[in-house]
Amino acid sequence: FRNIHTTHIKGVKIPVDFESFDCKFNIFTEMRQETVDSTNLSFQDRNLFSIGASVSNELFRNFNFFLSLRVDDYSIFNTEVSPGAVLTYSFNEDETVFSSFQRAYRVPSFTELYYDSPANTGNSKLSAEESLSWELGYVKKGEYSYGASVFRRLDYDLIDWVKNSISESWSAKNMPRSETGGFEYWAYRNGFKLSYSFLDSCYSSDFLYSKYSANYLRHSLSCVKSLEFRLLNLVLNLSYKNRSGGDEFINLDLELNRSMKFQNHAANLYLKVFNATNVKQYDVEGVVLPGRWITSGLSLEF
């Protein structure tokens, strides 16, 4: 099932930065036009006018804030207002606590609105999805650095591809509400990095099958180690993934490279092996990702 799409994005953005009252200000305005001429989607276009501003300042000795506000007016969607705030407190040069709040939105893509095939059907009546998110975290820098954060996100009118039976085609729909919470942790020392994240999501839907809302990484663990030899560098990345449906994957990626310098130039010769364990895994259920594959190359800098 072959499609030919030609897309154009034309626009202009004017930013203005200045300082006043011991604060840093950023103001911008943007105008953009998006078009697609497609054998499947026909010709579609939409215009966007945006204005926004942000301000940051150090309130006290170790306390900083960043506030932002953006207003987007699409020609075929409602006007969207996106406020945000980030607060940080530094105990010293290496230790920082931060918290953030953000409202965000995403308008449907042309594919989600108009695509039509035996397997997927778009929906021209889709609304923009919106989210409210909070995060609280701690970061420690230094020879042994680490960080952790907890977060929660509420989604409204989340766009998903759903269906009620295996034989049906996927249809784009707005899901009324979704709530996701979790935490993440990372640590780094002497070329070794460990990272872990946990997600727990619940959503309301009238459909039995979901491409995205019901298909997410519940547990994700990654261990990366860099080893330096006399002539070569070796990077090992061992990961464990557990999807919400219960499927588990253990994967190993590795990279072997050698950096060389001559005169004012630099070169890097590399060999990368992805999915070295050749496990069967997927991001979307039913769509299997590539097995083991190898790539090599030479990069030059002049």
What is the amino acid identity at position 148?
A
Q: Are 254 and 237 in contact (CB under 8 A)?
A: yes
Greatest alpha-carbon span in the chain:
65
Residue 223 and residue 237: Cα distance in Å, rounded? Answer: 6
Whose CA is closest to 243, among 203, 287, 199, 205? 199
Burial per residue of 92-112, b for 16 or more beta-carbon CB atoms within 10 angstroms, e otherwise: eeeebebebebbebebbbbbb
Low-confidence ranges of the chain (pLDDT < 70): 285-286
- CA-wise closest residue to 148 among 103, 190, 105, 95: 95
Q: Are 36 and 6 in contact (CB under 8 A)?
A: yes
CA nearest 116: which of 172, 32, 181, 71?
A: 172
Distance CA 159, CA 196 (A): 27
Please give the angle made by the CA atoms of 230, 256 and 236, to the nearest 5 degrees.
105
* Matching residue, tokens 């002049």: 302
Residues 6+ apart with CB under 8 A from 178: 154, 155, 158, 201, 202, 203, 204, 213
The number of beta carbons lying within 10 Å of the beta carbon of residue 47 is 14
Listed in sequence order, the residues at least 6 apart from 210 whose beta carbon sits closer than 8 Å to its beta carbon are 160, 161, 162
Q: Is 28 within 8 Å of 64 (Cβ atoms)? A: no
The H-or-E segment that residue 112 falls in is helix 110-114
Q: Which residues of 167-179 are buried (b: 16+ CB within 10 A; e: fewer)?
A: eeebebbbbeebe
> Other C-beta atoms within 10 Å of 79: how many?
9
Amino acid making up residue 204: S
Q: Is there a contact between 184 and 196 (Cβ–Cβ < 8 Å)?
A: yes
Residue 285's pLDDT is 66
